[in-house]
Structure 1
Amino acid sequence: MRVPNDTMRTLSDMHTLALATAGRILHFELGVAYEIFGNPPRGSESSWYDVSLCGPGPIQVGPFQLEPDHGLEHLVTADTVVVPAYVDVDDPLPMELVEAVRAAYEAGARIASLCTGAFVLGAAGLLDGRRATTHWAHADELSARYPLALVDPDVLYTDNGQVLTAAGKAAAVDLCLHLVNLDHGAAVANTVARRLVVPPHRDGGQAQFVTTPIQVSGDHQLARLLAWTQERLDQPLTVTDLARKANTSPRHLGRQFRAVTGQAPIQWLLTQRVRRAQELLESTDESVEAVAVATGLGTATTLRRQFKRIVGVPPDTYRRSFRTARI
């Protein structure tokens, strides 16, 4: 059963998820979508996504051909439709796919694109008047083809409610985890992220292109600092405290954080506090005041302000919507 765009979704409402394909598909984004939506965490098997691969015929994924489970007509019955990335944006778009995605949208499905899959959404008219993104290398072309779309080349993903778009590669992981978060809550999304050995959440507004990336392995100093910090979110940590723990200067720490996370240390810390607050609001009956203390935000006023800024709704509304949607 579908629900209005502004209502929290759970899998009692949203169950079927269709991967919409045709032609030549990039394997990474298709694999990411199936890995996340096709493999339930332990204990969630009965309420997880019912995933199907849909296409007009065999699809080319690198050197392999895959046979879809269903034809494109199946999209109109799906609750969520995910359009993976295409090999070459200069290839003619399969119009039967464009029309099937448009029909699914008109029937009420939530539509998400990964990387160059945004071109399908653009051709279907779903990006008109909406913020959208794709891989930064193709953002100018997306904007030129679909001038009514508000293309932002500097973000990881966009969420317009019924229509979502992701940038390339790792950003596809971020958007898929964002959907799991919307459907199942932060705790389950974090469980999936841990299985994938990726950060639990990167906000869609973070930069998608980092000029001087730093690879963070398990023994990297910053990786240890991130883990140490997440275990102490209830404490009144400052950027100076983090720099002291990392045995570096606040300025150098800021450069490292921006290179690795795309955020300044204080922004990253606030985001982690709010994500922890989401988990507590979902899983406990603690008051907003108690959650504020437990997440290091201090007061209910501060929690409400930061929560609404990052999540989009006040914590009381989030808890009420989440609990109602679970009934």
Structure 2
Amino acid sequence: MIEAFTAPERLPKVAIVACNEFSPFHISVPCLVFGSEMLKRRLFEVSIVASEQGPIFSKEGMQIHTTGSLADLSNADIIIVPFWRSYEERPSEALIGALNSAYQSGSTVVGLCLGAYVLAYAGLLDGKRASTHWGLEQDFMQRFPAITMDSNALYVDNDRLITSAGVAAGMDCCLHILRKVYGADIANTVARRMVLQPHREGGQAQFIERPMATSNDQRINQLLDRMRQDLSRSYSLDELANQVAMTRRTFTRKFQQATGLSVGQWLITEKLHHAQSLLEKSDLSVERIAAEVGFQSTSAFRDKFKQQFQVSPSAWRKTFKG
């Protein structure tokens, strides 16, 4: 229990890197988790390090008082980059050099949300897995082809290099680090006092916005609308091709161009997203929802739903039902 916990003789040093135009929320997350506020005792030596010269302001005009410089990163056990002002901006060579030097000396380097871009620009993530906000995954993969993007993970811990998805996932990531250093009891206590789950089920796939597929061919768009209105039935390629007056080969090609998926993959995706809506907005049983969206068995529906969103239908309803 936490009451019996004794802190080590030397507290781990956490350095939080702040840049101009910083996000107050992002920088407050590691300060809360690793600071003394939640437990009324010090478990880490926390400092805020300026990534550049001069005063550090947020976009809203808040100024932060930094307690260290890039030279101090060499003494940190854990370095956290909680934010970066632009995914298109390469960090300064001074920051890149300081992060690489600290990592080579044994520091754990963490990039929360867009902070993952700083680690990527520094070359630290080459050949490794990483996570960042789902809205920037495509840009991240194109910009850093040597890095393997984990599109679903809330955070990825890989050889003293830790990256997280966006915003709230930074809390999950920091609690994960706290758990690694001090164990589950301490991490669970901090999570409860922050009114957070100690460990969230599932990944960021459950939060990704799904753009509506469209085509330049109105016949395809109208067909997609008709299929969405009756997801409970089966469709054959020949039947669908006939409906839009195309050959099977032409239809398959145009459908793939419009949706990025095969007909079978698109149908499964649409069925699961409609099931999400029914779980959130209705009181129908999971069994009834499985039938409504065209699954022949409830077990097959549960398996596909869990595979797609990393949570069960019941857990989805518990999380998102209004």
* Normalised-by-shorter TM-score class: 0.5 to 0.7
- CA shift digits 1:175-218 (9 cap, x unpaired): 01111111111111111111111112125755362459xxxxxx
- 3-state SS of 1:207 partner: helix
- CA shift digits 1:48-104 (9 cap, x unpaired): 011000113322223212231011010010000001112322234233212111111
Say if 1:87 and 1:103 are closer, same or farther in 2 by CA, change over 3 A: same
- Structure whose alpha-carbon radius of gyration is higher: 2
| Aligned-partner Cα distance in 1 for 2:36–2:149 | 32
Name the counterpart of 1:53.
Answer: 48
| Aligned-partner Cα distance in 2 for 1:74–1:174 | 26
When normalised by structure 2's length, the TM-score is 0.61
Displacement of 1:152 after TM fit?
1.9
Q: Which runs of 5+ in 2 are unaligned?
A: 1-6, 211-282, 291-301, 317-322
Name the counterpart of 1:28.
Answer: 25
- The structure 2 residue matched to 1:42, chosen from 39, 43, 46, is 39
The answer to whether structure 1 residue 264 and structure 2 residue 259 are counterparts is no
The answer to whether structure 1 residue 159 and structure 2 residue 157 are counterparts is yes
Matched-pair contact (CA < 8 Å) for 2:29–2:171: yes
- The structure 2 residue matched to 1:171, chosen from 169, 172, 185, is 169
Matched-pair contact (CA < 8 Å) for 2:286–2:314: no
Alignment of 1:212-227 (within 5 A): none
- CA shift digits 1:201-248 (9 cap, x unpaired): 125755362459xxxxxxxxxxxxxxxxxxxxxxxxxxxxxxxxxx96
| Aligned-partner Cα distance in 2 for 1:184–1:119 | 28
Displacement of 1:12 after TM fit?
5.7
Say if 1:125 and 1:14 are closer, same or farther in 2 by CA, change over 3 A: farther
Name the counterpart of 2:120.
Answer: 122
Say if 1:38 and 1:204 are closer, same or farther in 2 by CA, change over 3 A: farther
Say if 1:265 and 1:161 are closer, same or farther in 2 by CA, change over 3 A: farther
Alignment of 1:1-327 (within 5 A): 15-39=12-36, 41-42=38-39, 45-46=41-42, 48-55=43-50, 56-57=52-53, 58-62=55-59, 63-202=61-200, 205=203, 207=205, 209-211=207-209, 249-251=285-287, 263-264=311-312
Displacement of 1:142 after TM fit?
1.7
Say if 1:60 and 1:153 are closer, same or farther in 2 by CA, change over 3 A: farther
Displacement of 1:250 after TM fit?
3.9
Matched residue pairs, number?
222
When normalised by structure 1's length, the TM-score is 0.60
- 3-state SS of 1:188 partner: helix
| Aligned-partner Cα distance in 1 for 2:206–2:115 | 17
| Aligned-partner Cα distance in 2 for 1:262–1:61 | 36
- 3-state SS of 1:115 partner: coil
| Aligned-partner Cα distance in 2 for 1:68–1:206 | 32
Displacement of 1:165 after TM fit?
0.2
Matched-pair contact (CA < 8 Å) for 1:93–1:120: yes
| Aligned-partner Cα distance in 1 for 2:9–2:58 | 32
- 3-state SS of 2:207 partner: coil
Displacement of 1:166 after TM fit?
0.3
Matched-pair contact (CA < 8 Å) for 1:116–1:135: yes
| Aligned-partner Cα distance in 2 for 1:204–1:110 | 25
| Aligned-partner Cα distance in 2 for 1:11–1:203 | 31
Say if 1:211 and 1:249 are closer, same or farther in 2 by CA, change over 3 A: farther
| Aligned-partner Cα distance in 2 for 1:133–1:12 | 34
| Aligned-partner Cα distance in 1 for 2:9–2:157 | 21
Q: Which runs of 5+ in 1 are unaligned?
A: 1-9, 213-246, 269-327
Equivalent residue letter for 2:80: V
Say if 1:14 and 1:103 are closer, same or farther in 2 by CA, change over 3 A: farther
Name the counterpart of 1:224.
Answer: none
| Aligned-partner Cα distance in 1 for 2:176–2:137 | 22
| Aligned-partner Cα distance in 1 for 2:205–2:284 | 24
